[in-house]
Structures are given as structure tokens and as C-alpha cells.
Amino acid sequence: MVSSCRRVRFVTVAYGFMIGPDGAFGIAEVRWAALHASIEGWIGSLALAHGAFTYAEQVTKFTSSRVDSVDFTGLDRVEEVLQRRC
């Protein structure tokens, strides 16, 4: 008989998720970094990611300088938070 249980690992991190005084959702430890302008923006980004991972045949993540090499012609920009700090 095959068990349907999955092993769950718990990981601790040196930061916490917080809501800033302007309603922005972000992370904070030594310094505040806003990730989304609002909780609704965060939820929206999770919904977009879920849709991408559920329905796309391939999902590729780019970080750092590799983002500059991506051709975004023909795509709609999603509102984001840039360099915001409380």
C-alpha cells in the first residue's frame, strides 16, 4: 500500500513578511523592502504565478542581469514596486 502522506520540511528565515505603513506588502529584517504596493498586489502575483505553473508547458525564471536580455515586445507590463523603502 502506498502512503499519500508527504514529508514536510520547515525552514526558518532571518526576515519576516510585513505590511508597511502605506499598506505595501514586503519583507523586513534590518531594512524594509516592499515587494508589492498592496496585499491585493501580492495575492494577484500569486494568482499569476499559479496560472503560469499550472497551464504553461515551460516556465523559465530569470534573475539579476539576465532579466535585461529578455525581449518583452508584445507583452503587457504588470504593475510592480520599484526601489520602494519605508
Which residue range(s) make up the domain with 33? 16-69
Q: Is residue 58 part of a domain?
A: yes
What percent of the chain shows pLDDT beyond 70?
Answer: 73
Q: Is residue 3 part of a domain?
A: no
Q: Identify which of 22, 45, 46 has the alpha carbon closest to the alpha carbon of residue 34.
A: 22
Q: What does the pLDDT look like over 12-52, one tens digit per residue?
A: 667 788 888 888 888 888 788 888 888 888 888 888 888 88
- Higher pLDDT pick, 50 / 1: 50
Per-residue pLDDT, 86:
45
Q: Can you tell me whether residue 25 is helix, strand or coil?
A: strand
Does pLDDT of 68 surpass 70? yes
Q: Is residue 24 part of a domain?
A: yes
Q: Is residue 83 part of a domain?
A: no
Q: Is residue 57 part of a domain?
A: yes
Total count of domains within the chain? 1
Q: Identify which of 16, 58, 23, 50 has the alpha carbon closest to the alpha carbon of residue 38.
A: 23
